[in-house]
Amino acid sequence: MRRTPPWAYRLYANPVLRAVLGWDWPRRNIMWIRSAPALRIVEIGSGGGFYTRHLVRHVDSAATVVIMDPCPSAVGALCTRLRGKVVGVSGVGEHLPFSSSSLDVLFYGYSLEEFDDPYRGISEAARVLRPGGQLVLFLWRPAVRGSRWRELLALAERDFALERACAGVQNIRRSYRRR
Could you tell me the end-to-end alpha-carbon distance of the chain, in angstroms, rounded to an integer? 30
Confidence band, pLDDT 50/70/90 cuts, at residue 114: confident
The CA distance from 179 to 163, in Å, is 12
- The CA-atom distances, in angstroms, between 115 and each of 25, 35, 38, 65, 75 are 23, 27, 29, 21, 17
Domain boundaries, the chain: 6-178
pLDDT digits (tens, 9 = 90+) for 121-159: 999 999 999 999 999 999 877 667 677 888 999 999 999
- In the chain, % of residues over pLDDT 90: 68
Give the per-residue pLDDT at 2: 55
Lowest mean pLDDT of 47-61, 98-112, 130-144, name the range.
130-144
Nearest to 140 by CA among 126, 122, 152, 155: 152
In this structure, which amino acid lies at residue 90?
A: S
What CATH class does 6-178 carry?
Answer: alpha beta
* Averaged pLDDT, 51-56: 94
Q: What is the pLDDT of residues 2-45, one digit of tens each?
A: 566 667 666 766 777 766 665 667 888 899 999 998 999 999 99
Q: Give me the pLDDT at residue 149, please.
A: 84
Average pLDDT, the chain: 89
